[in-house]
Amino acid sequence: MSKLRLFEPRLFEPALSDPFESMLTRFMAPMRKAMEDGALDIKIDVTEADGMYKVRADIPGVKKDDINVRIDGNIIQIDAEAKKEKETKGNGGKVLCSERWEGAVSRTFSVAQDVDEAKVSAKYEDGVLTLELPKKTTTASKRISIQ
């Protein structure tokens, strides 16, 4: 459920019993608001099973075509860009509140073993990017005979 904030919350808070707590709450209000209005943060889950890594990344409000995934060995980078749609105001209306985020975001992380880029699969559904990253097979070392 979306929160609609048209007023500063501290104006409607009941008086706190502890004066220090009240002062701290009012002091932290601008920082709390800045954090809530901040940029999109890509949250990820990485699991390992059956010779592959599976990544689930939350990227809500972004179109599939605006997501880019790059793999370099064992380093994975996810880039996304959210674009705000034009607000149309009919009959002299006005925007009362606009909290949706717009901009680019990137997340880079590494896994323990190199990924086989040729076998990677990616799917984006309901704001969740799912990557299946097969591990690159390593060749066993070969003993060289010296003559």
User: For residue 144, is it within any domain?
Assistant: no
Whether the CB-CB separation of 101 and 79 falls below 8 Å is answered with no
d(CA 17, CA 21): 8
What is the reported pLDDT for 83? 78
> Residue 78 falls within a domain, yes or no?
yes
- Judgement on whether residues 49 and 105 belong to the same structural domain of the protein: yes
| 66 shares its domain with 122 | yes
pLDDT, one tens digit per residue, over 68-96 is 999 999 999 999 998 776 665 556 677 77
Question: pLDDT tens digit string along 13-33?
Answer: 455 456 666 666 666 665 544
Number of domains forming the structure of the chain: 2
Q: How confident is the model at residue 11 (pLDDT cuts 50, 70, 90)?
A: very low
The whole domain housing 19 covers 9-38
Residue 38's pLDDT is 52
Burial string for 38-75 (b: 16+ CB within 10 Å, else e) reads eebebeeeeeeeeebbebebebeebeeeebebebeebe
Q: Are both 45 and 70 inside the same structural domain?
A: yes
The verdict on residue 141 lying in a domain is no
Residues 20 and 68 in one domain: no
Q: Are residues 74 and 53 in the same domain?
A: yes
Residue with the bigger pLDDT between 133 and 5: it is 133
Q: If pLDDT is split at 50, 70 and 90, which confidence band does 102 have?
A: confident
Q: Which two tokens stand for residue 19?
A: 């004066």
Q: 28 and 74: one domain? A: no
Q: Who's near 7: CB < 8 A, 6+ residues apart? A: none
More confident residue, 29 or 100: 100
Rounded Cα–Cα distance for residues 147 and 144 (Å): 10
In a shared domain, residues 78 and 18:
no
Looking at residue 100, the DSSP 8-state letter turns out to be -
CATH of the domain at 123: 2.60.40.790
pTM over 0.85: no
Q: Is 12's pLDDT higher than 60?
A: no
User: What is the pLDDT averaged over residues 95-99?
Assistant: 76
Say whether both 34 and 46 belong to one domain: no
My answer on whether 20 and 70 are in the same domain is no
